[in-house]
A and B are shown apart, each in its own frame.
Chain A
Amino acid sequence: MRRVGGARRGLDMWLVQRASALYMLLFLPVFLARAWLAGPLDYLVWRGLFEPVAVKVAVLLFVAALLAHAWIGLREILIDYLHALVPRLALYFLFATLYLGCLAWSVDILWGVRP
């Protein structure tokens, strides 16, 4: 049987990779500058940074962008180097579970910060 590629998947992934990189690029300097301006960082000041809901949302988006970016990078690596179906699928499953777990955990951490 002829091998055919899944249509329309390449562009979406490529765009998400660019978009997530852009968000991280915009978020990181702003967040770090904000942390720097907040004065000498001890635990309470650091914790205080995450109290506004807007910051929680922005950080959660950052985590989501990071995970999406990592997922696409991982997918590229597996497509390039790992051609056997079963190990590739197993690794997809493993990392999908791991990354989704990280996302859920981040929600718990962020919304666990209360004044």
Chain B
Amino acid sequence: MRFRIHRYDPESGAAPSLRDYELDFDPKGRKVLDALIAIKDTLDESLAFRRSCREGVCGSDGVNVNGRNVLACVTPLEGLKEPIVIRPLPRLGVVRDLIVDMAQFYQHYRAVKPYLINLDPEPESERPQSPEERAELDGLWECILCGCCTTSCPSFWWNPDRFLGPAALLQGYRFIADTRDQATDERLDFLEDPYRLFRCHGIMNCVEVCPKGLNPTAAIGKIKSLLVKRAL
């Protein structure tokens, strides 16, 4: 199988480039991450990439394969056009080869305060929710913060420092939608500016690439509805 992989080593002083690899590999039933590991084991041990759980749960191996942001560990090799071009996630700084600097991404994630804010005295056991209230959180809590959606969003490309991006907005809505949270108003205040939320033009690249099948655009739409309801 033929691969073309983005290489960059800041210590060498060389410009980033794409390097070709020819790997004797049976793609049947195997994933892109299997090939990356095989290349590192047999062809080029200097190749650097992140991976951990290798089953689509940890979200650490987001890469751009043939122009599409995916998790390498759950993307089948079969059906990919050769040479398979593997690049780091777009728009983030490259630390090395396929490893990107996620600092900006996490900064936006922190900015939406991704935790329950509840000033009531802590109860003896738990803060109960009805099954319906809990169901509101489905499609929101599953996000693994891999960054595939945010780095496929042109609004994030143009304003990466000010637009929060689909992942952070989905997480923001996860706590807005939570009946146990008491900071809804503050959360909405934070999002009501021209950049943080309203750079989203609803092109749905995020929905298209999300490896967990989530829908950040719908979450953003619900936040907009809440903002409208609150304003009128």
Contacts and interface: CB of A to CB of B under 8 A. Distances in A.
B194 A9 contact: yes
B227 interface: yes
Q: Chain B interface residue count: which class?
A: 20 to 34
A33 to B, nearest CB: 30
Interface in A4-20: 5-11, 13-15
A74 interface: no
B151 interface: no
Contact of B192 (A3, A11, A76, A81): A11
B228 interface: yes
A80 B199 contact: yes
A80 B158 contact: yes
Contacts of A79: 159, 194-195, 199
A81 B158 contact: yes
21 contacts: A3-B161, A5-B162, A5-B196, A6-B193, A7-B192, A8-B192, A8-B193, A9-B194, A10-B193, A10-B197, A10-B198, A13-B194, A13-B198, A14-B198, A15-B231, A79-B194, A79-B195, A79-B199, A80-B154, A80-B199, A81-B158
Interface of B: 154-155, 158-159, 161-162, 189, 192-199, 201, 224, 227-228, 231
Given A3-B161, A5-B162, A11 B227 contact: yes
A107 to B, nearest CB: 30
A11 B189 CA distance: 11
